Amino acid sequence: MTIKVGDKIPTGMFTVMGAEGPTGMSTSEVFDGKKVVLFAVPGAFTPTCSVAHLPGFVVHVDDIKAKGVDTVACMAVNDVFVVDAWGKSANAEHLLMLADGNADFTSAVGLTLDGTGFGMGTRSQRFAMIVDDGVVSLLNVDQGALEGSSAEAILAAL
């Protein structure tokens, strides 16, 4: 079942690159007591994700935070090494780069994408959500083109 506005974020873990290597970060660490914009991409280094989706948030992160957002997080169903390298290559140091390597979080929120036809396995649909203290207040899931999950769309919704 797909998560919806008013639902609490499920308990789970992400992986982030820490100063000493990969480390776990719980959903409570990411979302509890904070206003968070989380956007998800089908894959790091994939065309739309690298050319438009992530760069839009890199450009607009300060504008988004000026609207009262504590954290802007990017999530991909890739390993933490790929997600970290992608973030560094995109100058995304002001974003929280979250790896959902086994698609556990993506599955828990019901937003998986079957990429097996492209040799990509299970991935995340392209989406963005605003989460207030662990509760979803906005969820935009794109059906193909980058639209409702763009930085511009989220900025307009804040």
Does the predicted TM-score (pTM) go above 0.85?
Answer: yes
CATH class belonging to 13-157 = alpha beta
Distance, first Cα to last Cα, the chain: 26
| pLDDT one-digit tens code per residue, 22-71 | 999 999 999 999 999 999 999 999 888 888 999 999 999 999 999 999 99
Tell me what the mean pLDDT of segment 112-132 comes to: 92
Reduced to 3 states (helix: H, G, I; strand: E, B; else coil), residue 28 is helix
156 Cβ contact list (under 8 Å, min separation 6): none
The residue annotated as part of the active site, out of 3, 16, 30, 49, is 49
Please indicate whether residue 1 or residue 82 has the higher confidence score (pLDDT): 82
Half-sphere exposure of 132 (CA within 13 A, CB side): 7
Residue 50: the pLDDT is: 87
Does the annotation mark 49 as catalytic?
yes
CA distance linking residue 137 with residue 81, whole number of Å: 31
| pLDDT one-digit tens code per residue, 89-105 | 999 999 999 999 999 99
Domain limits of the chain? 13-157
